[in-house]
Chain A
Amino acid sequence: DGGITQSPKYLFRKEGQNVTLSCEQNLNHDAMYWYRQDPGQGLRLIYYSQIVNDFQKGDIAEGYSVSREKKESFPLTVTSAQKNPTAFYLCASSIETSSRPGELFFGEGSRLTVL
């Protein structure tokens, strides 16, 4: 089945450590996104990529980094520079069609906890 796979589902990190969250999709979508979700708040965009080897900062990119070396993969690294990294991270992809404009397909999420 086509979809988006995020791993790990749960991750614990000590302060000062970098961690990388994996996101893989087999939907053949060009665009991929990383969002952060905190309780009671709307999803906030961290980074997005509309094509391989190109990505753009979102609204809260500080302390995060990404790469897009393959169409299927868009990993997110949470660096030690991110001051409050404990959150639920969602990866998404999209393809623009006339019948489903701007629909995001989400992964199952990764919950990062900093100890």
Chain B
Amino acid sequence: KNQVEQSPQSLIILEGKNCTLQCNYTVSPFSNLRWYKQDTGRGPVSLTIMTFSENTKSNGRYTATLDADTKQSSLHITASQLSDSASYICVVSARGAAGNKLTFGGGTRVLVKP
């Protein structure tokens, strides 16, 4: 069964500090992995996409890493801002005969305090 596990479930950090979110998956056959940011009461927005051959990808202060061998990904937030307070969702896509099938993690809720 395809699964995506995210940790921690929630975390609190001070403004200006860095933090790292983890995503472990057992999805096969792997196609790609996305990180989404979801503000409270809003729809998720894509931050990054990682394919099998990519190890690192950045989007501003967000840097995602992928280790396809251990099936782990991380999202690093640098110099956090109050606007980074949101849930971050890891989504892994598996290739299938009928197209890609997505498996969503439960998300990590980040609260940035001044």
Q: Tell me how far the C-beta of B8 lies from the nearest C-beta in chain A, rounded to whole angstroms.
A: 12
Interface residues on B, range: 20 to 34
Q: Is the CB of B45 within 8 A of A102?
A: no
Interface of B is mostly: strand
Q: How many residue pairs at the A-B interface have CB separations less than 8 Å?
A: 54
Contact B49 A42 (CB under 8 A): no
* Interface core residue of B4, B51, B99 (most chain A CB under 10 Å): B99
Bound-state Cα–Cα, A44 to B89, Å = 13
Bound-state CA distance A44–B4 (Å) is: 13
Residues of chain A within 8 A (CB-CB) of B100 are 101-102
| A100 neighbours in B (Cβ, 8 Å) | 49
Q: Could you tell me the distance in whole angstroms from the C-beta of B51 to the nearest C-beta in chain A?
A: 8
- B74 within 8 Å of A (CB atoms): no
A106 and B49 form a contact (CB under 8 A): no
Do A103 and B42 have beta carbons less than 8 Å apart?
no
For this complex, 27 residue pairs linking A to B, each with C-beta atoms less than 8 Å apart, are A4-B43, A6-B43, A40-B9, A42-B4, A42-B89, A42-B106, A43-B104, A44-B104, A45-B102, A50-B99, A92-B43, A96-B99, A100-B49, A101-B31, A101-B32, A101-B51, A101-B100, A102-B32, A102-B34, A102-B93, A102-B100, A103-B49, A104-B44, A104-B46, A104-B91, A106-B44, A108-B41
The 6 residue pairs across chains A and B that have the minimum distance between CB atoms: A106-B43, A42-B104, A43-B104, A102-B100, A42-B106, A102-B93
